[in-house]
Copies of this chain bind each other. A is one copy, B any other.
């Protein structure tokens, strides 16, 4: 019962969030949702929390540490680099998402905090051991990987075959889907990342992204809502453009 709560001074170990799972805002969204109360307690005992500032690299790789994490809050970008610096963002992580082992094929994947980010960290090997004991945990992480693969394959279609307009529309549809909510309702999405991050996610340049956003604004499909957010008055229309039907 004593718990980890009082570990202040430690560099970056966050005392901000009471670190008990009971009050964790993303418990139901994360893999923790499949765990029983006692399992949660066990897992909590082997977790630690950490905060990253915007722009900070979240290494957790090739360092001997080998950790994985749940994103408690904030936005992370995952990306790959070509030797000459060209960058492709392979995905964004938001609160509740799982930051798995950065398995690398030909190119390493890096993770960087876009906003201030709070992570709930686990030792990768210890979590793997738990997977042996808790098949439902393994099943859940499997499903997670499967969903990630799914999104990656959809994104390949975007990168290989969609026009600039379609890509930018797809980007906002993606954000809308992550915020959930209904299609027919006009909804507001946060856009914490820079134009140039969006470009690196869509395989475009910053300038093209900016022009396309302006165009969508003129069409009334995008309304600026504060510094880092847009209101989407007609998500179905956006979705139509994203899909690649639109005559113009």
Contacts and interface: CB of A to CB of B under 8 A. Distances in A.
B243 A160 contact: no
Interface in A131-151: 132, 135, 138-139, 141-142, 145-146, 148-151
Given A82-B157, A106-B154, A243-B83, A146 B145 contact: yes
A4 to B, nearest CB: 30
Copies of this chain in its oligomeric complex = 2
Interface string A155-199: 111011110000000000000000000000000000000000000
A233 interface: no
Contacts of A154: 80, 105-107
A29 interface: no
B104 A161 contact: no
A109 interface: yes
A86 B157 CA distance: 9
A82 B243 contact: yes
24 contacts: A83-B243, A83-B245, A84-B245, A88-B157, A88-B160, A88-B161, A90-B156, A90-B157, A103-B150, A105-B151, A105-B153, A105-B154, A106-B154, A107-B153, A107-B154, A107-B157, A138-B138, A142-B145, A145-B146, A145-B149, A148-B149, A152-B153, A159-B159, A159-B160
